[in-house]
Structure 1
Amino acid sequence: MNKIALITVTKKGVEQAKKIEKIYTKAPIDIYTMEKFSDESTFTIKGSFKEQVGEIFSEYKRIIFITAVGIAVRAIAPYIKTKDVDPCVLVIDEGSDFIIPILSGHLGGGNELAQDISQSIGAYPLITTSSDISGKIAVDTLAQKINGKLESLESAKKVTSLIVAGESVSIKVPQNIEDSNPSGVIVVSNREKIEITQIIPKNISIGIGCKKDTPKEKIIEIIETTLKSLNISTKAIRVMGTVDIKKDEVGIIESAKYFNVPLKIISRDEIKKIEDKFETSDFVRKTIGVGAVSAPCSILASTKKGDILIEKFRKDGVTISVYEEETKNG
């Protein structure tokens, strides 16, 4: 579950934070406050406030300040990167009358969180994004709804501006988005200039095995080359999986970090249940106790609804498998 960091710097703020923690039960909340207001149920902000906020900013995907908006803005300013990686940041006043998303309202889910919390605590959500005010969906919100990745933030912004302005914008998807994936699109229009953007579904599960101490650069190169051969973007990778005996393999761990995806560790007991469905190796079975690694891991790390695109690709001591999950709308 996605934890929420709740930051406050006053005694009254701490009281409000504890009330919110008690009322809003949909996600665990970690309360951060100054040492003089801290107790056993809170985390203490020690040293530089801005530095502590920086650590929280990198650790949490959802952050709430019970402070003045100016304090929150100045605290997070040095750490803001881009809307597709920044956490959502909200501000609640000490009376819990208003809740304001100030960062990553769409992609980070800030607007949705504000509306959700407001219903629990009786605050009024102040949503300032133009698409939400006009009751129209933004491209980045659409990407979030289908767990997709925007190919370009700039083109998404341009298309969203057309939506907000009331222009005609078509969404071109396969008739059944769960089993089809277009390689090309034909747009029929008499407009001289058409803004086009792309949402990349994050629906690829990579199963991986490798020789001990294989460098991350080699693993990354093989994954990129393999997906390129399938005409699939690396941005579509949602998860990577490997066998438990490789849980400390630095090259695999660092490769998952490079693609900014979780690494699921699959037990050999789980693999044994399905390994007979794949090509197996007596040498691998004799070495680690199972006859296949990458293919079972690609499926067991996934939603298990989809198709395996590459069962096994070997190169330079690295074996990878590629599994494509169904993409659901909603």
Structure 2
Amino acid sequence: MKLAIWTVTRGAGLAGNKILEKISNTTLFTLKKFNIDNSIQMENFTKTLNENFNEFQGHIFIMATGIVVRKISILIKSKDIDPAVVVLDEGLNFVISLLSGHLGGANELAENLGEKLNMTPIITTSSDVTGKIAVDTLGQKLKSNLESLEKAKNVTSLIVDGKEVELILPKNINSTGKVEGVIINSNREKIEIVQLYPENLVIGLGARKDIPYEIVKEILKETFKKNNLSLKSIKHFATVDIKAKEKAFLQLSEEFQKKLIIVSRKDILEIEEQFEGSDFVKKTIGVRAVSEPCALLTSTGKGIFIEKKIKYKGVTLSIYEERNIDE
């Protein structure tokens, strides 16, 4: 997690340096007038915070909670995208999880800081206080995406209230998660249900040069629809090194907020005999196949191809589903 420490007093700045010694990948912000080492020295706290709030996954404020609430109130948007925010006192006695406790990881950050700096973590989310797990936390542990924040909240409220909630999982908690139907045996008229989407679909891509983005997106959506797959379960995209700067692929990665992993032709050559290839592609770029080997090489290798190779208007697309159980 990329973290920022924010301070507006000399004592807080010195305390921030103590945190730097314990927590990696962290940037300390202090006011310029204090000239504190190992920090970015600010002329204006509010301006610097506004400019950098979305550049970090988590924020550690060493100041009064009231100040923090006022400063971040215009910056926060939604619990599914807001960064984690925790607040500490200058004496490093307490660490309060203030914002994005579950999805953003503020509760975990507070506990981590508490352990490493001998502070008392203060966590007020009901599920954590009662020792029960929230649906969004469960989704994180399963590395899955939520169907709906509203549905997750409704089911979590049942858990917190001590109601009976059944967790239906495949045989192995890390497996495919490819259930297509659920039968619920209950005498309750209203049953809250929320779906989690495992990120286990690896998308291999190949295309002619300067392929229009609309074509790539169209074949992706149509192929997912045909196979009854959710776009929320995309783990990442993958393509060959010669296509690393293909604008349509980069735009796809940006829109879906999934990495575009680049595979070298040297690595493809080692396994290309496993796939049906093209003499034209071999002559053009030096390998016989692109989308299939790229998908396989960037996956866990434990799974199956749902689509080996779809061809459409100059695009080739492969879908590899990662699985961890024998079928």
TM-score w.r.t. length of structure 1 = 0.92
> 1:182, 1:150 → 2: CA distance?
16
Distance 1:130 1:226, change over 3 A: same
CA-to-partner distance for each residue in 1:253-276, whole Å, 9 max, x for gaps?
A: 111111111121222222222222
CA-to-partner distance for each residue in 1:248-299, whole Å, 9 max, x for gaps?
A: 1221111111111112122222222222211212211222222211111112
More displaced, 163-172 or 64-73? 64-73
> 1:38, 1:224 → 2: CA distance?
54
Match of 2:11 in 1: 12
Aligned partner letter, 2:227: L
More displaced, 270-279 or 248-257? 270-279
> 1:212, 1:110 → 2: CA distance?
44
Q: Is the 8 A contact 1:278 1:292 kept in 2?
A: yes
> 2:46, 2:232 → 1: CA distance?
32
User: Which among 207, 210, 221 is matched to residue 210 of structure 1?
Assistant: 207
TM-score w.r.t. length of structure 2 = 0.93
User: Which among 295, 304, 315 is matched to residue 318 of structure 1?
Assistant: 315
**Where does 1:160-199 land on structure 2 (aligned, <5 Å)?**
160-177=156-173, 178-179=175-176, 181-199=178-196
Match of 2:26 in 1: 29
SS in 2 for 1:239: strand
Count of matched residue pairs:
324
Distance 1:252 1:11, change over 3 A: same
Structure 2 portions without partners, runs of 5+: none
Structure 1 portions without partners, runs of 5+: none
CA-to-partner distance for each residue in 1:197-252, whole Å, 9 max, x for gaps?
A: 11111111111122222233322222111111111110111211111112212211
Cα RMSD (Å): 1.9
Q: CA deviation at 1:40?
A: 6.3
More displaced, 295-304 or 254-263? 295-304
Q: Is the 8 A contact 1:100 1:114 kept in 2?
A: yes
Aligned partner letter, 1:81: K
Q: Is the 8 A contact 1:205 1:238 kept in 2?
A: yes
Q: Is the 8 A contact 1:50 1:76 kept in 2?
A: no
Match of 2:233 in 1: 236
Q: Percent identity?
A: 48
Q: Is the 8 A contact 2:203 2:320 kept in 1?
A: yes
**Where does 1:1-330 land on structure 2 (aligned, <5 Å)?**
2-24=1-23, 27-37=24-34, 41-45=38-42, 49-177=45-173, 178-179=175-176, 181-326=178-323
Distance 1:248 1:188, change over 3 A: same
